[in-house]
Structure 1
């Protein structure tokens, strides 16, 4: 199994209730059950107010590197990524577990 973690940082001046953000969150929430490769899927807003904290996180898992590639290339995932590109940056970590 491979854990796929993504931490998102909203751009300066962008708030959680911004309609673009609301749409982006909805797009990623909808991936649960929509992409066969996903074995685990959770996401949520960070509750920490520390300056180094990111704003939003996705924690997911897939079977192997091939499944991760299929997930990343899936049109629904790509559509969500396109939305988030408009108002956030992110970092990822993929590791076996």
Structure 2
């Protein structure tokens, strides 16, 4: 695995990890009744997902240009991290909505 692929893989892992952490923080904030803070965490989580996705897009564009992407455990881990973080962020947003609804009753 060359240096560029390592950089891309760890970029995805880092931003995806940040996104998941922020999504989890959003759930905790909503649970404590801090809906505005929870929504701010969700927005930051989305920004981190976007940054991770930019790295992934670079991989896709590179392969679409005819350059073979070397698969490695690190790259597979990065893709898995991104996918689970995206799913978790979407679920966290649903939890925030639910806590907001419960709080308004």
TM-score by length of 2: 0.30
Q: Which has the higher helix share?
A: 2
Structure with bigger RCO (C-alpha 8 Å, 6+ apart): 1
* Greater Rg by CA: 2
TM-score by length of 1: 0.31
Q: Which has the higher strand share?
A: 1
